[in-house]
Chains A and B, each alone.
Chain A
Amino acid sequence: MTTATVEALSPATATRIKPIAHWHDRLSQLLLLGMCLALVVFLLAPLAMILVKSVQDRDGAFVGLQQFRDYFDTPALRQSIVHTLSIAGAVTAITVPLAFSFAYALTRSCMPFKSTLRLVALTPILAPSLLPAISFIQWFGTQGVLKWTLGGASVYGPTGIIISSVYAAFPHALMIVLTALLLADGRLYEAAESLGTPTLRRFFTITLPGAKYGLISAAMVVFSYTVSEFGIPKVIGGNFNVLALDIFKQVIGQQNFNKGAVVSLVLLVPVLVAFVIDSTMQGRLQAQFSSRAVPFAPKPKPAFDVAMLGFCVTVCTLLLAVLGMAIYTSFIKLWPYDKSFSMRHYTFGLVDGGVISAFFNSLEMAFFTALVGTVLIFGGAYLLEKTRGMSALRALIRLLAAIPMGVPGMVLGLGYIFFFNHPDNPLNVLYHGMAILVISTIIHYYTSSHLTAVTALKALDNEFEAVSASLKVPFYKTFFRVTIPVCLPAILDIGRYLFVNAMTTISAVVFLYSPDTKLASLAILNLDDAGEIGAAAAMATLIVAASTTVCVIYAVVTRFLLVRTQAWRRPVTV
């Protein structure tokens, strides 16, 4: 623990020795600089174009803050701010405890079927965000079988937005919290047990503080996700205005990019607030997973295990009911009047929409996003957390990494058009190609993946690096020999996360695809727009099926790797 950076991060571990910069450090700093540059070009520059638009009128003349004044003079738009914050608050308040309980059950109980339950709990991530909205309309809409449960209230509006968002955000939160809980140090629990600490007290003094960073990150991710999601309120929101929808109205409905830019900037405010909270908490955090840590192994407690199993099965049943309704809708002739079995949505969609090529485009895009994205994001997070020097640059990168979650995809996409399609930009050769779709998707999903990587890395004691450094082992050797094997579960999660999101992403790429790179997820949006719910559900089902297949193959292939690299996590049986 001898670096200036670590000092800044965790004052408690500060020491006296100033290290002499080695070429290893120079290399890592160079890489860090490159990472920062990439984020500036692919994130900040396009957003700066949006910023410029917000102080211009439609003809491109500078008007100062006039657009902002107009915006705040419109009561309906002001109301959207209140709506957005309350919806996002409600979704966070429901999703995070739900995800925490689920993750707690997976890591702290001895209930059976853990891997199956975990798999089911992550299924919402396989589904395009329009899927829950469509499905909840089928369940609770005017013709829905469960309409009576709402007692005369309409599902269109806040109710629909909240339940759909909870569904869509749940796996995002679960991934982060799970990572945090998985990396607990078993020795603490053993110590607590031998000291006779009561269960409840153990929970509040070991489990909760240990997962604090993950919980805050999860809350931030869920909040930002809900704030910037436009597909759900568009389909199930009724007349309930939210900011993301206002952007849609301005940009797509009225092609008023300047007003759209203003709303986008307003939308960034809650995200920046979330970032400040997050980084303040992070300053107080110390590594919990020392190099001597032992993974926690739960002991069977029948009553607790059964209760946890009951909870998880209930959650999974609800999640599957959402997915199931969409699949069911895709196989019936005409909802709700002719519920006989029919493949016509598939044949119509497949034959008609050129979906096969779009589908392969999606697979290609998702593959490259997962591959390139995982390498860049995890590598970047490693450089950020575990190497030394350039503290100011690190702070900047941390801020940049937090921004994408709060930037609605549509805004990012528009920024990409303005920036990369500019005739004077040497990078404009990227425009209209597959590369720009991959890049925009990596950037769009950067925050969540980055946080997963950081959470995993933070839980690793910096002593590994310190020992390596004192043995004159270059950082990249430690990275490949220690960090990657230890963090493999998190790395695989990031890859899968990027893959499945690339399969379903809509909002950024809607402006960036070309005839040769049309994506399957966009076909869903078009079908839903045309009101072809059956066909849209069919497309969504295809995407879910494809992503599931890939995940299963992925799981089988990586199980082998995990067995080899994670053996140390299993307690030694004497």
Chain B
Amino acid sequence: MDLAVSKSWRQAIGRAAVALVALWAVSAVAQKTELLVYTALETDQIKAYEDAFYKAYPDVAIKWVRDSTGVITAKLLAEKANPQADMVVGTSASSLAVFSNEGMLQGYAPKGLDKIQPQYRDPKNPPEWVGMDVYGAAVCFNTVEAGKLNLPKPETWKDLTKPVYKGKIVMPNPASSGTGYLDVAGWLQMWGDADAWKFMDALHDNVAHYTHSGSKPCREAGTGEFPIGISFEYRAVTTKKGGAPIDIIFPKEGLGWDLEASGIMKTTKKVDAARKLMDWLATPEAMALFAKNFAVLAMPGVAKPLDFVPADYEQRLVKNDFAWSAKNRDKILAEWAKRYDGKSEPK
């Protein structure tokens, strides 16, 4: 499988080599290195990424454990004493920062790391995690229900605090959903403590309920259960493409965000295979696949405009300090719970 050799032999022999490689690959199915990868990627994404990866590295086979970010993170932390996974792929950078703090990851600089933007990777050298793409806050607005209720379309976060939206908004609970926390952390970093909490106080008066999943609010907006759902843009776009009568709003003040990122477990015995997957995740080919789902990628210049996502999306992202957001998480959530959980009787 040494591509360097086949290159030097020109086309004809190259083709023969490819044929040989194919033959070898078929006969060597049993010798594939099997990687156990924990992931929070969507199922349909996994399929596409996996197919492309196998074309590049036919000697590695991936076994996926797929679940929500919360479950995957909890599972990895609970298994800390005797980790099962070889790698974590497509899980939030906030979670990977936690694993890194716990000493569960090993550093590796994938080929092509120099092309990854510095704010989208672990600042350590070599990095313990590398980003794939960005997902950020978005608001789903059901136009049919809004029409029935005479609701104006909100354009900003501040608009959502207007009395007209009372009981019409759903957002994820930051204590149970990473997407919810990303919103809260975004507001706090953008406006500072005092203004952000004042905003959340006002928003709370309009919130019908807090969900335990980041996708749910947009889905509930999509089915008209509640006309406005604070969610993230990937789910907003898939909901709209699924036929739900929603407009997607990217509030002007700024959007909280997180990364889908990947890293290698310190305890893996399959370092070579894991590095191959890390290398591939940082290639332009991989990025081109991510670009089908996400508007902002860790590698600049590959992204293509996506339907329903504005061209200046990346400029709307707030300055996000993962270390700050991880360090202050307990404190922020305790404050949040104190303000909004205690008086959370249904309206």
Taking beta carbons and an 8 Å cutoff, which residues of A are in contact with B? Answer: 74-76, 79, 137, 141-143, 154, 156-158, 234, 238-241, 245, 248-249, 251-257, 333-338, 352-354, 414, 417-418, 421-423, 428, 431-432, 510-511, 513-516, 522, 526, 528-533
Contact = CB atoms under 8 A, between A and B. Distances in A.
A353 B66 CA distance: 10
B100 interface: no
Given A156-B209, A533-B223, A511 B75 contact: yes
Q: Is the interface of B mostly helix, strand, loop or mixed?
A: mixed
A79 B223 CA distance: 31
Contacts of A353: 43
Interface residues of B, number: 61
Given A74-B337, A156-B208, A337-B243, A252 B71 contact: yes
16 contacts: A74-B338, A76-B342, A141-B225, A248-B176, A249-B212, A252-B74, A255-B77, A257-B77, A334-B242, A337-B243, A422-B81, A431-B84, A511-B74, A515-B64, A526-B67, A530-B215
* Interface-central residue, A234, A251, A254, A516, by most chain B CB under 10 Å: A254
A66 B242 CA distance: 49
Contacts of B78: 257, 414, 417-418, 421, 511
Q: Which 10 A-B pairs have the closest CB atoms?
A: A531-B219, A157-B346, A253-B176, A239-B344, A76-B341, A252-B70, A515-B63, A238-B209, A417-B78, A76-B342
Interface string B333-347: 110011001101111
* Interface-central residue, B63, B223, B344, by most chain A CB under 10 Å: B223
B79 A417 contact: yes
Nearest to B95: A255
A352 B44 contact: yes
* Interface-central residue, A143, A253, A414, A516, by most chain B CB under 10 Å: A253
Given A154-B346, A417-B75, A529-B216, A253 B341 contact: no
B161 interface: no
A530 B226 CA distance: 17
Contacts of B333: 254
Contacts of B242: 334
B244 A334 contact: yes
A135 B144 CA distance: 23
A334 B215 contact: no
A336 B176 contact: no
B233 interface: no
A525 to B, nearest CB: 8
A239 B74 contact: no
A514 B65 contact: yes
B36 A253 contact: no
Contacts of B47: 352
Given A76-B337, A253-B212, A533-B219, A158 B144 contact: no
A143 B36 CA distance: 43
Contacts of A249: 173, 175-176, 212
Contacts of B228: none
B209 A239 contact: yes
Interface string B72-87: 0111011101101000
A337 B222 CA distance: 9
Interface string B25-68: 00000000000100000111001000000000000000111111
A514 to B, nearest CB: 7
Contacts of A423: 81-82
Contact of A142 (B36, B43, B226, B347): B226
A337 B244 contact: yes
Given A336-B223, A515-B63, A533-B219, A253 B177 contact: yes
B81 A421 contact: yes
B245 interface: yes
Contacts of B239: 531
Given A76-B342, A511-B74, A513-B65, 12 more contacts: A74-B337, A141-B225, A253-B175, A254-B329, A254-B333, A334-B242, A353-B43, A354-B43, A421-B81, A423-B82, A514-B63, A530-B235
Nearest to A425: B82
A238 B176 contact: no
Given A241-B344, A249-B173, A531 B235 contact: yes
* Interface-central residue, B210, B212, B226, B242, by most chain A CB under 10 Å: B212
Contacts of B337: 74, 76
Contacts of B248: none
A186 to B, nearest CB: 50
A441 B92 CA distance: 31
Given A257-B78, A334-B243, A352-B44, A529 B344 contact: no
A417 B329 CA distance: 25
A316 to B, nearest CB: 28
B2 to A, nearest CB: 30
A253 B173 contact: yes
B45 to A, nearest CB: 11
B331 to A, nearest CB: 12
Nearest to A349: B43
B213 interface: yes
A182 to B, nearest CB: 41
Contacts of B213: 528-531
A29 to B, nearest CB: 36
A102 B242 CA distance: 43
Given A238-B209, A255-B73, A531-B222, A337 B44 contact: no
A512 to B, nearest CB: 9
B141 to A, nearest CB: 15
B210 A76 contact: no
B295 to A, nearest CB: 19
B166 to A, nearest CB: 13
B104 interface: no
